[in-house]
Amino acid sequence: DPSPVVKSIRSFAPATVANLGPGFDFLGCAVDGLGDHVTASVDPLVDPGRVSISSVSKLSRNPLWNCAGIAAIEVMRMLTIRSVGVSLQLHKGLPLGSGLGSSAASAAAAAVAVNALFGSPLSQEELVLACLESEAKVSGYHADNVGPAIMGGFVLIRSYDPLEIIKLEFPANKDLFFVLVSPDFEAPTKKMRAALSPDVPMKHHIHNACQGAALVAAVLQGNVTALGLALSSDVIVEPKRAPLIPGMLAVKAAALEAGAYGCTISGAGPTAVAVIDCEEKGKEIGRRMIEAFQTEGNLKSSATVSRLDRVGARVV
């Protein structure tokens, strides 16, 4: 039962892009500039060993049904905290159901904040496990959002039982930008997972395995062109989900025509993600993608051009 080292602490966890095309449930990355904040405080009004959510908008304040609360409770359990209670303030910077790892960002920020209250004794891998308890309740037991949200950069989930995560280092001297275009449309993860077929033809399995391996190699080499080609080449998940997002097929075509190296659905969607190595070109690609969402999907959307977040969840 470690004692708190501070009375209150604030953390941030970044948005994430899961799947990256062919890497369904085993590849993901963190993106800079977007994310959630959590303030965790030792609170004498909260029963010892318990977690309370004192402030949040548009979400349940019941910690058993809130992503931040579930992850915080799991961290408290891992640390066997019995002497004090903790309250959380969750500040959402990510929209719900956007495909940018909104639930993972809340969970990661809470896990890091509560861990830091007690001197940060848990490792990143243990924090991912705590966040997985949250993901399991809201969208399924997958770490391709919470992994990069905690660890930053690109991650590969090598195994779930036991959990083993490999961080993939994108070269520091290479430029990589993500063009994230989010339409006014909600695509709940559970609904988008239900759209997937349980049976995969062998030729599609082989194709996606090749593309997943190529994407990992491209990340390690810093080859954005090859990364984009692999990102765009999913033949299992994207073909099932894209028709459920109005205009997505046209948005992808517009991104590629505008010079993007690749484009796919971010996570379960509806956000579309394109990759490029030039920020100014990324802004133009974003404008073309917005136009396609409006023209072909009758959806308003917004674009953000972000770098790779190499740090992950942290105390701020």
Residues tagged active-site:
135, 189
Residue type, position 86, single letter: V
CA 1 to each of CA 28, 39, 76, 195, 285: distance values in angstroms, whole numbers, following the listed order = 34, 21, 9, 45, 52
Return the exposure string of 5-14: e unless at least 16 CB atoms fall within 10 Å of the residue's CB, then b. Answer: eeeebbbbbb
* Cβ neighbourhood burial of 47 (10 Å; 0-12, 13-18, 19+): exposed
| CA 267-150-7 angle, 5° bins | 135
Beta strand 86-91 pairing with 262-265: unpaired
* Edge-to-edge strand ranges of the sheet holding 177-183: 262-265, 272-276, 177-183, 301-307
d(CA 191, CA 173): 39
Inter-axis angle of helices 124-138 and 67-78, nearest 10: 140
Q: In degrees rounded to 5, what are phi and psi of residue 173? A: -90, 10
Which structure tokens are listed for 196? 């997937």
Q: Is 21 helix (H, G, I), strand (E, B) or coil?
A: coil
CA proximity to 168, closest of 96, 236, 94, 219: 219
